[in-house]
Amino acid sequence: MNHIGLRIKELRKKKDLTQEKLAEYLNVSFQAVSKWETGASSPDLSMIVPLARLLGVSTDALFGLADTAEDPRQGELRAQYEETWKTGDTAKRYEIAQAAVAEYPGNFDYLKWLADAEGAYAIHHCERGTAEQRTHFENAVRYFERIIEDCDDEDLRNSAIHGIVLDLPSIGRRDEALRYAKQHPDCDALLKCCLTGEDWERHRQEMIFRKLDDLVDELESGKHDLVAIRAAEKIIKIVIDDENYLWFHDVLMHNYIWQAMCLTRQNRFEEAVSVLRKSHEQAVLYEEMFDKAKETPISYTSSVLNKISFDANRMIKSGTSTLTEDFGEYLSWKEFDALRDRDDFQELLLL
């Protein structure tokens, strides 16, 4: 891992903070923190001061400059290396990494510097497809392999796996990249770097599906923000623009329930009942589709998801009730008490 990643990890553990808690305090994703610590990326400059303050150290200490008395040269190398991430000077980064590995043989952190720098140099300073570019990629792969084989630090090994997956396809070793990708905790993201053709497109769409489902779930969390809940509905309809919603019939059914709850709290009773009708319609459509999908998986037809399908036999059910039965149960909730005396709401109870 790069030096700042190591420091973040060390200081976080000293403060007894999880990656998730650190991310929460800094208003970033825990995946971002994980990438910092594994060396896959570095914090933005805007993060340095708040990160140092949260960890209870100076910015110099965060970069390791407070511990350079014992070995001034290591501190100098680290400072120079981190500076290149601010300037973007990949040629200088390559020089510094070469010097660090030459002066401190066996240091896996420095070897990771050099592996990363070789790949960056190949991309930014070599003509595409030349023997020179291939040589730099091959060097990067060789260094990554050494880290993976010899280093005991799991985070550093994972960071090296991430790097080797990115570089192997550039020298025609895509099958090896695929094998390494399957060993990495963030396998899904890395598979995009080594799959091709239909396999790549299907994997990409599966990731879109999962991220769409996660985004909708996050927008709806709390079930109290009408703007966010309606945004979730719109996003579903943008991605699945042909209304062949399949699994998302279920999602929309619940989305309309949450919308109706918000509208009822705002005394917008007529709108609430109208949205509840939509919820029931989605429940009916889901059940009709689900029965068909038990016989044969049904393909999505939206251009964004047309390589994947809905297989009812792979669904994990959390209860024995049908979706229309769930709809009836929702109507009994106290959140809809203000609608209970309305004739149009009573009609819904008879559906």
Q: Quote the pTM value.
A: 0.68
Report the alpha-carbon distance of residue 345 to residue 270 in Å, rounded. 9
Residue pair 302/241 in contact (Cβ under 8 Å)? The answer is yes
Q: What contacts 62, CB < 8 A, 6 or more positions away?
A: 4, 7, 8, 11, 48, 51, 52, 55
Beta bridge partners of residue 309, listed in sequence order: 299
Query: What is the largest distance, in Å, between two alpha-carbon atoms of the chain?
Result: 83
Q: How confident is the model at residue 26 (pLDDT cuts 50, 70, 90)?
A: confident
* CATH topology assigned to domain 3-197: 1.25.40
- Amino acid 7: pLDDT: 84
Identify the sign of the CA torsion 139, 123, 189, 107: positive
Q: Is the pLDDT of residue 274 over 70?
A: yes
Q: How confident is the model at residue 2 (pLDDT cuts 50, 70, 90)?
A: low
Closest CA to 100 of 111, 86, 116, 91: 111
When mean pLDDT is compared across 33-47, 130-144, 253-267, 321-335, the lowest value belongs to 33-47
- The string over 139-175, giving b where at least 16 C-beta atoms fall within 10 Å of a residue's C-beta and e elsewhere, is bbbebbbebbeebebebbbbbbbbbbbbbbbbbebbe
Residue pair 286/249 in contact (Cβ under 8 Å)? The answer is yes
Q: DSSP for 38-83?
A: HTS----HHHHHHHHHHHTS-HHHHTTGGG-SS-HHHHHHHHHHHH
H-helix or E-strand spanning residue 173: none
Q: Is the pLDDT of residue 70 over 60?
A: no
Residues 149-172 have a mean pLDDT of 95
Report the alpha-carbon distance of residue 179 to residue 177 in Å, rounded. 5
Backbone phi, psi, residue 299, to 5°? -80, 145
Backbone phi, psi, residue 298, to 5°? -105, 130
Q: Is the pLDDT of residue 65 over 70?
A: no
Side-chain-side CA neighbours of 182 within 13 Å: the count stands at 6
Q: How far is CA 243 from the centre of its chain?
A: 26
Higher per-residue confidence, 40 vs 337: 337
Q: Is the pLDDT of residue 72 over 90?
A: no
Q: Is the pLDDT of residue 317 over 80?
A: no
Residues 286-294 have a mean pLDDT of 94
Residues 204-210 have a mean pLDDT of 96
- Amino acid 239: pLDDT: 97
Closest CA to 302 of 209, 220, 222, 218: 209
Q: What are the structural domain ranges in the chain? A: 3-197, 209-349
- Amino acid 14: pLDDT: 85
226-238 confidence digits (pLDDT tens) = 999 999 999 999 9
Mean pLDDT score across all residues of the chain: 92
Report the alpha-carbon distance of residue 147 to residue 34 in Å, rounded. 19
- Amino acid 55: pLDDT: 84
Q: How confident is the model at residue 290 (pLDDT cuts 50, 70, 90)?
A: very high
When mean pLDDT is compared across 124-133, 183-192, 200-209, the lowest value belongs to 183-192
